[in-house]
Amino acid sequence: MSQLSRYRFTGGTAVVTGAAGGMGEHVAYGLARRGSDLVLIDRDADRLAAVAAKISGVRVDALVADLSDIAGLDDLAARVLAANPRVTLLVNNAGVALGGAFDQIGADEFDWVMDINFRAPVALTRLLLPTLLESPGSHVVNVSSLFGLIGPPGQTAYSASKFALRGFSESLRHELADRGVGVTTVHPGGIRTRIAESARVASGVSAAEAAQGKESFAKLLTYPADKAAERILAGVEKRKGRVLIAWTAVAPDVLARLFPTSYMAVMNRLSPSTARNAKPPRPDGAAQRNTTSSGS
């Protein structure tokens, strides 16, 4: 497997999804400072326009798109390439959250999460890969999650999508290394973004538990999004295969490696409040019981 040289930000175009806020917004600012032209994609037209307006000195295209429309991604990629034939960096950052246990989530809701968090990054990578391969030294970033490292109760849809993205990214990295394209998988911990505010709640979850779950989730989001973006870009430059951001990703990753079937029980013992905030309350209002044992 060949050793890729450091990624060069100048002279190429970066495509960033989910660029209207949070890490995506700050990744865009960081790329602009490093001299990359930008294609910024988000479904929130107003916020996206505001982000684009703050950037100067490089070319910026802002494209409004809903990544849950998988069939429409062919057209989106065609729009990107029509104006930017030399794409050298793809940052699949856009993602959505859905709270609720598996038996509270409808099939259409599960598919919505999988479409945006997994199928859209795969489709965009497939569509833009030919132009990435035409520019040796290009790079792909797929933003997974802490919940692509561990699978807590109440996160079946989200964890499924993020574990799938992790597996796709790791295999793709090995496939592309000798072809001059790098791949980085990012696992953020509790990053201060709007994901808790904008998260959907499964149809089977009551309003009261939805509010409680969002409040608990928001308490975990403490790491600044701008610092997270810098960590991502530093990882891209150094061609790191994996970037873990914040202790809330690093510590659970270690526990999952040491206790692959019982890490939730260990987390409950080490930090009961953190483990409790990671999962929604039971529909009947009772405290959620940890069903993971050391023998499972």
Domain architecture of the chain: domains with CATH: 13-277 (3.40.50.720)
Where does the pLDDT of residue 219 fall: very low under 50, low under 70, confident under 90, or very high at 90 and above?
A: low
Range 191-218 average pLDDT: 57
Of 142, 163, 216, 194, the residue nearest 25 (C-alpha): 194
- Token output for 197: 């505010």
pTM to 2 decimal places? 0.84
Distance, in Å, from the CA atom of 12 to the CA atom of 89, rounded to the nearest integer, reads 8
pLDDT of residue 283: 34
Catalytic residues: 158
Mean pLDDT score, 60-79: 98
Band (pLDDT 50/70/90 cuts) for residue 204 is low
C-beta separation of 98 from 105 below 8 A:
yes
Highest mean pLDDT among 157-171, 204-218, 265-279: 157-171
Give percent of the chain with pLDDT exceeding 90: 69
The whole-number pLDDT of residue 295 equals 36
The encoded tokens of residue 218 equal 């928001």
Question: CA–CA distance from 98 to each of 2, 105, 150, 196, 214 (Å)?
Answer: 39, 9, 16, 9, 10
Examine the pLDDT at 209 and tell me if it is beyond 80.
no
* Residue count of the chain: 296
Give pLDDT, residue 270.
75
DSSP bridge partners of 181: 138
